[in-house]
Amino acid sequence: MTDAKGYLTTHVLDTSLGLPAAGLQIDLYALEGETRRHIRSMQTNSDGRTDSPILPSEEFKLGVYELVFQTMDYLKRTASAQKEPFFLADIPIRFGINDLDAHYHVPLLLSPYGYSTYRGS
């Protein structure tokens, strides 16, 4: 346990449909040197968010992390006109946490052929 007040959230929006990306699996990893340790898997709700922080305060630590958005199943369900293999299958976003008291929000703006992210609030 830590005395951290910070936490990590995410939000996935499908920019091609103009809707939240519901039912998309997200995996969180901690990167420690050459080791990639799985912390948890969560799924987005109808608002494109997870029901709770993907990394809550009681587990919040300094370090390098990776969110992996499992986009292929979502794109298949939303009737993407792509042929398999899809252009995007998994989207990894690697980032650092350097403030234990901050809220880190890592949103994903998704379309079948591209994506963007930023540090949100």
Got the DSSP string for 89-107? SEEEEEEEE--TTSEEE--
Domain ranges of the chain: 7-117
For 74, phi then psi, to 5°, come to -60, -45
The CATH number given to 7-117 is: 2.60.40.180
From CA 79, how far away is CA 58, in angstroms rounded? 39
Going by C-beta distance under 8 Å and a sequence separation of 6 or more, which residues neighbour residue 106? 8, 9, 10, 67, 93, 95, 117, 119, 120
- In this predicted model, what pLDDT tens digit does every residue of 73-99 receive, in sequence order? 898 888 667 788 888 889 999 999 999
From CA 117, how far away is CA 84, in angstroms rounded? 25
CB contact at 8 A, 55 and 106: no
Token duo for residue 77 = 């369900």
Q: Is 61 helix (H, G, I), strand (E, B) or coil?
A: coil
Average pLDDT over residues 21-48: 97
Question: pTM here?
Answer: 0.92
- In this predicted model, what pLDDT tens digit does every residue of 50-71 receive, in sequence order? 999 999 999 999 999 999 999 9
